[in-house]
A = this chain, B = another copy of it.
């Protein structure tokens, strides 16, 4: 390694460490922090964030990037450097540019506006008053346009934003995939709607928090989560966070009247955690910009793989159902394996994204993608959002929210300025199926392990093919490398068709 590279890695590692410290403070805030500490904690976090910004915008990083041949995002590094070093430079260049291209005044004003907007959203949602939220939504869109213009004035603003979360993608490519996905989903839902509905009342039997806790540990064990390198706690919204290369923690929430919420949150977040813990870019790039996930979409592919492909399959539950009944007793007393399996796979078009089933979920995402693209590109005025939302809900899912609180104000994302993030959820879902297809085709042992509910072999395959390499590739490159093809919704649609034909007797 050249000495410039060594210096660069050293600077990058310090920044990564500050990021981990930030995660420790945030994790504590969401899990155990006493309530009166909130104001001081927010000062502490702002201080750490400022420090992280200072470290990443250190002009020395720019000099070293330049010295190593990384002169722009399209020229990632001196061609004589080893490929892994060039991959590293490409990722770091992206982050350095993102952090240095925004004027400090814009960053500060945006942070203030975000915090006002989020507070306004909380109130507006409570009061079902879209008009009160509208100016903040408008401001968030304006800020995002300005940010996009600073980062890359030559591209359409929404493309610039998408690229932040899903490097190498753009609106047109996503729209093409989503259009095929939407058609397939709508057709499948129509077929399901023609069949008798599954009764899932058994999932709403009361189950105490303490009882549910044991189920979480059990599931993490079964998914081969290494308990020396992480832990499970509770928070208002489940999340996964990385406090160090050897310290990845997840949270869940306990609804005593709907225990599956905990089960599938644990599996979902364990999927995210297994990805983070599986990153192994070697000692040289440990705790650098390279030793992170490819993208939000690829991250979501891991959580969705374990939550849905594995975690909602009969194959996974068959050898474990007796144990689950014991742990949750008496909640599942008298419920057959088949009734349980069908109940956790009930499909029913509904209003709220985070409560949606595996089939309808992506339609909620596509709706948001289309609307946020129109908002950012100036084709939809924020004032028109409620009507546009309700129209699309009607056409995609056949249901219309009675209020904007249950409609276009249900998610926090836009209120905090997140535009371009939503597509990741659906991209991840499709990646999960396409990866599974490649796994089954390329590794018969992993395929037969999946069929018998064994999680270790599939995890090994994911580690070897996806986790290990960190951010070496962009999502489209990884997809091509791992599956031999660009992303399509076909593997996902075929999987759904197979699964739900059996469940609903289509």
- Inside 8 A of A229's CB, which chain B residues have their CB? 34, 36-37
Q: Within A12-26, which residues are at the interface with B (CB < 8 Å)? A: 14, 17-18, 20-21, 24-25
Q: Which residues of B contact A41 (CB under 8 A)?
A: 244, 247
Q: How many residues on chain A are close to B (CB under 8 Å)?
A: 35
Given A17-B44, A47-B17, A247-B40, decide whether A227 and B24 contact each other with a Cβ distance below 8 A. Answer: no
The residue on B at minimum CB distance from A248 is B34
Complex: A230 Cα to B32 Cα, angstroms: 9
Residue A35 is within 8 A (CB to CB) of chain B in the complex: yes
Least CB separation from A41: chain B residue: B244
**Most chain-B Cβ atoms within 10 A of its Cβ — which of A21, A37, A47, A229?**
A37
Instruction: Tell whether A333 is near chain B: CB-to-CB under 8 Å.
Output: no
Cα(A25)–Cα(B247), bound, Å: 13
| Distance between Cα atoms of A32 and B251 in the complex (Å) | 13
Complexed CA–CA distance, A233 and B35 (Å): 16
Option from B37, B40, B244 in Cβ contact (under 8 Å) with A37: B244
Asked if A231 lies at the interface with its beta carbon under 8 angstroms from chain B, I say yes
- The 8 A CB mask of A236-258 against B (1 = contact, 0 = none) is 00000001111101000000000
Cβ-based interface call for A43 (8 A): yes
User: Which listed residue (B21, B34, B35, B247) contacts A34, Cβ 8 A?
Assistant: B247
Chain A 36-52 per-residue mask, 1 if CB under 8 angstroms from chain B, else 0: 11011101100110000
Q: A246-B40, A247-B37 are in contact. Are A24 and B20 (CB under 8 A)?
A: no
Do B231 and A35 have beta carbons less than 8 Å apart? no
- A230 contacts which chain B residues (CB < 8 A)? 34
Among the listed B20, B33, B44, B233, which residue makes an inter-chain contact with A21, where contact means beta carbons less than 8 Å apart?
B44
A80 beta carbon closer than 8 Å to chain B: no
* B44 pairs with A244, CB closer than 8 A: yes
A28 contacts the other chain (CB 8 A): yes
Q: Which residue of B lies closest to A14 (CB)?
A: B47
A14-B47, A28-B28 as given contacts; A246 in contact with B34, CB under 8 Å: yes
A228 interface contact, C-beta 8 A: yes
Q: Which residues of the partner chain B approach A18 to less than 8 Å between Cβ atoms?
A: 47
CA A226 – CA B17 in complex, angstroms? Answer: 33
| Chain B residues within an 8 Å CB radius of A32 | 32, 231, 233
Contact partner, A228, options B24, B34, B43, B233, Cβ 8 Å: B34
Looking at the complex, which one of B17, B47, B249 makes contact with A43 (CB distance below 8 Å)? B17
- Residues 44-83 of A, flagged 1 when their CB comes within 8 A of B and 0 if not, give 1001100000000000000000000000000000000000
Residue numbers in B under 8 Å from A17 (CB-CB): 43-44, 47
Identity of the chain B residue whose Cβ is nearest the Cβ of A38 in the assembled complex: B246
| CB <8 Å contact, A34 and B231 | yes
B14, A243: Cβ atoms under 8 Å? no
- A246 touches which one: B36, B226, B227, B287 (CB < 8 A)? B36
Cβ A243 vs Cβ B20 within 8 A: no
Query: Could you tell me if B231 and A40 are in contact, using CB atoms closer than 8 angstroms?
Result: no
A32 vs B227: C-alpha distance in the bound complex, in angstroms?
12
> A20 vs B48: C-alpha distance in the bound complex, in angstroms?
12
Q: Name A46's closest neighbour in chain B (CB-CB).
A: B17
- Enumerate chain B residues within 8 angstroms of A14, measured Cβ to Cβ: 47
Q: Are A245 and B28 in contact (CB under 8 A)?
A: no
Q: Which residue in chain B gives the minimum CB-CB distance to A244?
A: B40
Distance of A373 Cα from B291 Cα, bound (Å): 51
- B227 near A40 with CB under 8 A, answer no
Tell me if B247 and A36 are in contact (CB < 8 A).
yes
Instruction: Pick from B24, B231, B233: contact of A25, CB below 8 A.
Output: B24
Residues of chain A in range 199-257 having any CB-CB distance to chain B below 8 Å: 226-231, 233, 243-247, 249
CA distance A32 to B27 in the complex (A): 11
8 tightest A-B contacts by CB? Answer: A37-B247, A40-B244, A36-B246, A36-B228, A36-B229, A35-B228, A37-B246, A37-B244
A→B interface (CB under 8 Å): 14, 17-18, 20-21, 24-25, 28, 32-37, 39-41, 43-44, 47-48, 226-231, 233, 243-247, 249, 287
Known: A32-B231, A34-B246, A37-B229. 11 other contacts (CB 8 A): A17-B44, A20-B44, A21-B25, A21-B48, A24-B24, A34-B229, A34-B247, A36-B229, A36-B247, A40-B246, A40-B287
